Every structure is written in structure tokens, then in C-alpha cells.
Amino acid sequence: MITKSSPIGIYDSGVGGLTVWRAVRGLLPKEDLLYLADQANVPYGVRSLEEVRGLAEGVAKYLMGQGAKLIVIACNTASAAGLRYLRELYPDFPFVGMEPAVKPAAEQTLSGKVGVLATPSTFQGELYASVVERFAHDVRLYQATCPGLVRQIEKGYLDTLKTRRILLEALEPMLREGVDTLVMGCTHFPFVIPLIKEIAGEEVRVIDPAPAVARQVKRVLEARGLLAVRKRAGKSVFLTSGDALQLEVLLPNLVGVEVEVGGLRWKKGVLMKKKVKEPLGRLLPLPWPTPALAASLGSWEEVELDGGAIYIHREKGNGELEYRFNLPLDAWETPVILLEDNLGWVKEVALAKEPFTWYGSFVLTGEEREQFKEITEILIKVDEKGFY
């Protein structure tokens, strides 16, 4: 039964909807929020509208099953593909979706030239076409899909060289044409607004739709008499169909929240809780010398690249060689060092997690050093369900 105390469901393909979560949390501090990231299927922007519609329906069913009193589709692509469909499927249930902020951009531009950054699926959707038809009569629109930007933000890479390059390729042609207003047509993109402003200049307006969406959530709840009335502050629960550990690492950096993330999995089009298996081996904090630091340390002799990992090594004496490595979180879902009896020649194994990266170390005896070329196959394994 839906009551004033029921949670608000907020849904995105990944971390982008956290920009909306942040706005809703700020405007409605007493509401309980249930955030669901469908990271098993991110990015949505490269998928067909039909496929995204099916995913949106599965997520909506899960959130409604958890007692949500309203669902925010905090994803432009999912809104374009599924908002109208879900409202027809559940006519008595309130959905709030994302609409590209073309209207305020058209009202605010002085040059009459507006840039829109969004995914291909958003640009292909009826919702975007409708917004353009209604509000863009007197302005010229410049569109860019920013290939790869969603994946960069999913990793937490908000100001790297690659992220900057993606934005430069999207923004420079627009800016040369005189665009003075930019629309964030994907909920991921507000996370890189500081970088966008650095590239475009402070005189270019950047419109983030999240605050307007939060205000609409409040209006809908007020109209239905469902605003929470409680003394305590609202709680937030975070769920993902992807790697829960990775999302836990990202949350403090993106929205300043440290919380355990729940795992979900898809099975025949249905979302359900993921069974978590306990890790094998010992997980130890590991100070990691970066390649730059390693170069300044005389004992660490070389930096090697192998399968997306960075390795450095040093002689320990007695014929032993110590390796340290780091692995981007997207290299494997969860790397696990296997400690098995037949790997007795491996000593001092350690594995630890830091923001965006797994770190590890191992020591090889001299006679086994030639087996390094096989080390990733022997030692580092992954299971799609997490630790095993």
C-alpha cells in the first residue's frame, strides 16, 4: 500500500541519475529515496528504443514491488523510449521523466544558437522531436552525441585527458558557430559541467534539468497528498544491476555519500536480488606506487603494461621478484587472487580496492619468474556474480 512514508524510486542506466537524486534530496530532505542503477546494461544510448523500453518496464516493476510511491526516470534515453509507454501501462501510477531543456534554452539564448548534448537514442526519440517542434521555432540547434562520455563518467573520470578530448570534439564546432547556451540532454553530463565551463567559458550558459525535475516531483507528490511528513531526515538506498563495489567507490566522489550498495541481477527480463559470495584470500590495504612515483624509486625498476594492467617490479633478494599492479575497475568486474595449493610458489599475495582501481601485489621466486607472462591467466579470475 502506497502511503506518504513510501519511498521515491529514482532510476537510471548508471550514475547519471545521481544528479537528479542530488536535486531531489536537496529539495525534499524528508523523503526516503530508492536509487536503482541498471549498470548491467549501461550505456542505454547505444541501444534500440525497443530494448530500452523493455528494460525500463522491468525496472519499474521492481521499484513498484519495493513500494515506491512515484518513479523518476532519471535517464533521458529511458524517458525517450519508455515514459509514454509506462504511463499507458500503469495509468494510475505517477512517473516523472526527463525532457531535454530546449524550452528554457530557447528562452535564454541571446545568439539564437543552442547546443544540445545527448545520446543517439535521445535524439531519435519522439520526446525530443516533440520538444523541438514546440519550443525551437526561433532558434538553431546544434547536436552532439559525445561518444564515450557516458562510459568515462561511469568510471568516475570527470577530468581526464580522454574526457576533455571528447568534450572538445563536441563543443568546439558549436562554439565556432556562436552557440551561447548548452543543454545537458543526458543526466550523466552535469557531472562534467565544471569541465564544460572551462572549455566553453563562463559566458556560455549550461542548463542542467535536474532542479526542474525535482520541482516536478514535489508538485506531483503535493497534488496526490503523498509528501512525506516525518521528523527524521529521509534515508537513501542504492541498488545496481552491475558491480556494487564499484558503485560504492564512486558514490563518495560523485555525491559525497558513503553507503553499502545492494546488488541486483536480471533473470529472464526480471530484476531480483543478487546473491553475494564471500571472497577467498586475504584483502589487505596496499600502498600503490604509481608509474610516476615508481620511476622516482630506485628499487622499482620497470613499468610494464599487460592486458590493461600496470605492473612494476623490484628485486627483493634471495632470487625473489616482487610485482605490484593496478587494474582499472572495468578490466574485470571483480578481480580475485586465487590462493590454491598448487600455486605455492606465489608468496605474499594481497589485493585491495581504492577509487576506480584494484591494486595488488605478489612475489615470485626466481625459478618461476619466467611464468610472469601467464600470471594474469593463472592468478586473476573473475566471476560474473562477483567473488567466488
- 45, HSE (Cβ side, Cα atoms, 13 Å): 24
Domain definitions of the chain by residue range: 8-98+211-266, 102-208, 291-381
Nine-digit cell string for 241: 544491476
Span 102-208 CATH architecture: 3-Layer(aba) Sandwich (3.40)
Nine-digit cell string for 274: 543478487
Q: What is the CA radius of gyration of the chain?
A: 24
Residue position matching grid coordinates 553507503: 259
Is 186 assigned a catalytic role? yes
What are the distances in angstroms from CA 59 to CA 51, 75, 76, 97, 146?
13, 12, 15, 14, 26
327: CB partners within 8 A, 6+ apart: 308, 309, 335, 357, 358, 359, 360, 380
| Residue 236 per-residue DSSP state | E
CA 10 to CA 70: how far, in whole Å?
8
- What pLDDT, in 10s, does the model give residues 280-292? 333 333 333 444 4
Give the amino acid at 263.
Answer: G
In this structure, the strands spanning 95-96 and 70-73 are parallel
- Could you read off the pLDDT tens digit of each residue along the chain, which spans 388 residues? 899 999 999 999 999 999 999 999 999 999 999 999 999 998 888 888 899 999 999 999 999 999 999 999 999 999 999 999 999 999 999 999 998 899 999 999 999 999 999 988 889 888 888 999 999 988 999 999 999 999 889 888 898 889 999 999 999 999 999 999 999 999 999 999 999 999 999 999 999 999 999 999 999 999 999 999 988 999 999 999 998 888 888 898 899 998 889 999 999 889 998 865 433 333 333 333 444 444 444 454 545 444 445 555 555 566 665 555 555 444 433 333 333 333 344 444 444 444 444 445 555 555 555 554 444 333 333 323 222 2
Is 146 assigned a catalytic role? no
Nine-digit cell string for 368: 618461476
pLDDT value, residue 366:
54
CA 16 to CA 240: how far, in whole Å?
13
Asked if 335 and 327 touch (Cβ cutoff 8 Å), the reply is: yes
Which one of the listed residues 75, 244, 346, 380 is annotated catalytic?
Answer: 75
Q: Kindly report the backbone phi and psi dihedral angles of residue 211, in degrees, each rounded to the nearest multiple of 5, phi listed first.
A: -60, -40
| Residue 283 per-residue DSSP state | B
Which residues are bridge partners to 327 per DSSP?
Answer: 358
Strand 8-12: give its sheet, edge to edge.
Answer: 95-96, 70-73, 8-12, 33-37, 236-240, 262-267, 270-273
Rounded to 5°, angle at Cα 221 from 217 and 225? 170
Same fold, 8-98+211-266 and 102-208: yes
Provide the whole-model pTM.
Answer: 0.71
Residue position matching grid coordinates 595449493: 341
What are the distances in angstroms from CA 208 to CA 39, 88, 192, 290?
22, 28, 11, 36
Asked if 237 and 257 touch (Cβ cutoff 8 Å), the reply is: no
383: CB partners within 8 A, 6+ apart: 277, 333, 334, 336
Asked if 83 and 100 touch (Cβ cutoff 8 Å), the reply is: no
Q: Where are the alpha helices (DSSP H) in 49-125?
A: 49-65, 76-89, 102-108, 120-124
What are the distances in angstroms from CA 164 to CA 142, 200, 207, 308, 380?
19, 12, 19, 21, 32
Which one of the listed residues 68, 106, 114, 186 is annotated catalytic?
Answer: 186
pLDDT value, residue 362:
52
CA 231 to CA 233: how far, in whole Å?
7
Sign of the four-CA dihedral 44, 156, 36, 354: positive
pLDDT value, residue 192:
96
pLDDT value, residue 335:
39
- What pLDDT, in 10s, does the model give residues 134-190? 999 889 999 999 999 998 898 888 988 899 999 999 999 999 999 999 999 999 999
- Please tell me the class of the 8-98+211-266 domain: alpha beta
